[in-house]
Structure 1
Amino acid sequence: MAYNNLIRANDPMAINMLKENLAHFENNIAYMQAVNDYYKANGTMVNFEGIDYAEAVRLDERVNGYQSAPYPGRFFKENYEKIGRIKSNIDRLENRPKTMFNGWQFVGGEAIINLANNRLQLIFEEKPTSEQRAILKQNGFKFAPKATAWQRPLDYKIMATANRIDFIKPLDGKTPMDLQPKMTHRNAPER
């Protein structure tokens, strides 16, 4: 796996990929510590298991030239910073609600949250009237023949838009916005 690729939060494998990255950087730290310990004990990297002679000479020259160990503190610091960011991302993804949005039933159809495609999809039992189609188009919905649904990208603006469309109101009389989980606000420091 490449460790500089973007990992999207809505990817179902995001947590697994982050855990792989975490293991990679933790292994880097263990390796660098082993190299530094070997150099400290022997004064050279020659005969260190896993490093060929040319690499050992390169590390020895680097130490003798301008640093006190093959891997000085800045290498560790960079890895620990990356590990900290990865751990916080894993924690954030593991503790977030499974979905930030909820679908609903409406007269003549259903609103579905499609996280894989990041869309709110409106599936009608029968073809909407021309007036209803015009309202959907005015509000940014497009018909997707493959999904056989009217859809729009999923964000918090979409729920405010859905509130304004009367024929897709939930059966229980609430608004689409009322059905959505409430965002928890982070405790921001006072200014």
Structure 2
Amino acid sequence: MKSNFEERRQNRKDRYEELADKNRQQSQERYQTARNIGKHIPMGQPILVGHHSERGHRADIKRIDNNMRKSIEHDGKARYYEQKAQTIENDRTIYSDDPEAIQKLRCRLKDLEEYQSSLKAINKLCRSKKLKDEEITKQLADEYGLNASTIHQLLNPTYSYEKRGFQSWRLSNNNANIRRIRERIAQLEKAESEETTEQIVGDVKIVDSVEHNRLQIFFPDKPSVEVRAELKQHGFRWSRQQGCWQRHRSNTATYQSERIIRLYNEGLQ
């Protein structure tokens, strides 16, 4: 499972890098073609209207313009695919279909809980009535590694109604993240006890794939334009690798798949 997940991720990255290289090469080729055509036209040479060279001159200018536009277009695509590949490389999102998702989420939860404890401890220290600011400053630097600028901000709130230390919204936001991570862990733990199921409706197969965390629809042939539009509108995407239309598992995905399959079967009648 782990190797399959990482392999799919790496394959996407490799594909984007391949497309970036291909478009970069095409951009360079188009640019070079435009330059080569331009070498045959003397610098500053105007179009000689009525001369036998007029037709060829205009054609060359058109070819130069076309190749330059294509060069710019391919360069833009190369940059786009490079960015896509870089996004995958830097992506730290924990996906539900990652076999190590629960373990990674537990590690993230631990970090968030430790951070929450630190925020509370720092606030208690900043609001202490028994310690002088010099003592508080030293402890914040020595025990929590805070720099002088951060300590100054904590001890000198911007507005008079604010308390010293981290403001309540920071703790509330972190608490919300803790709750969200706990809920995701619970959902994934529940999903671990589920099994992949499949059913046939007419000539269409529906697979509720726990392994891939996808609801998959396998049509016997290419659906009509109307059906494909419905699929795309409701989050289904064609997977060339799996040979099906799919989206992440959910109750909504199940409902929409049943509705779209009815639409498909009605079109066959």
TM-score (norm 1): 0.52
CA positional deviation for 1:120: 4.7
Instruction: Note closer, same or farther for the CA distance 1:72–1:159 as it changes in structure 2 (3 Å cut).
Output: closer
Bigger relative CO (Cα 8 Å, ≥ 6 apart): 1
Tell me if the contact between 2:112 and 2:174 (Cα under 8 Å) persists in the aligned partners: yes
Q: What residue number does 2:186 align with? A: 91
From the CA coordinates, give the structure whose radius of gyration is larger.
2
CA positional deviation for 1:31: 1.1
The code of the aligned residue for 2:148 comes to Y
Cα distance between partner residues in 2 of 1:152 and 1:115: 16
The answer to which of 46-55 and 59-68 deviates more is 59-68
Instruction: Note closer, same or farther for the CA distance 1:158–1:36 as it changes in structure 2 (3 Å cut).
Output: closer
RMSD: 4.2
Question: Within 5 A, what are the aligned runs for 1:1-191?
Answer: 6-39=93-126, 40=128, 41-44=130-133, 45-48=136-139, 49=142, 50-62=145-157, 65-99=160-194, 101-102=196-197, 113=209, 115-116=211-212, 118=214, 120=216, 135-138=220-223, 144=240, 150-153=243-246, 156=254, 161=261
After superposition, give the CA deviation of every residue in 1:19-65 in whole Å (9 maximum; x if it has no partner).
Answer: 23312221221111221222214243411221233322222112885
The code of the aligned residue for 1:93 comes to L
Q: Which has the higher helix share?
A: 2
Cα distance between partner residues in 2 of 1:15 and 1:116: 15
For structure 1, which runs of at least 5 residues remain unmatched after alignment? Answer: 105-110, 123-132, 166-191
Cα distance between partner residues in 2 of 1:27 and 1:116: 32
Instruction: Note closer, same or farther for the CA distance 1:37–1:158 as it changes in structure 2 (3 Å cut).
Output: closer
Tell me if the contact between 2:191 and 2:210 (Cα under 8 Å) persists in the aligned partners: no
Runs (4+) of structure 1 moved beyond 6 Å?
none
**How much identity, in percent, do the aligned residues show?**
16
SS in 2 for 1:11: coil
Q: How many residues align?
A: 142
Tell me if the contact between 2:94 and 2:101 (Cα under 8 Å) persists in the aligned partners: yes
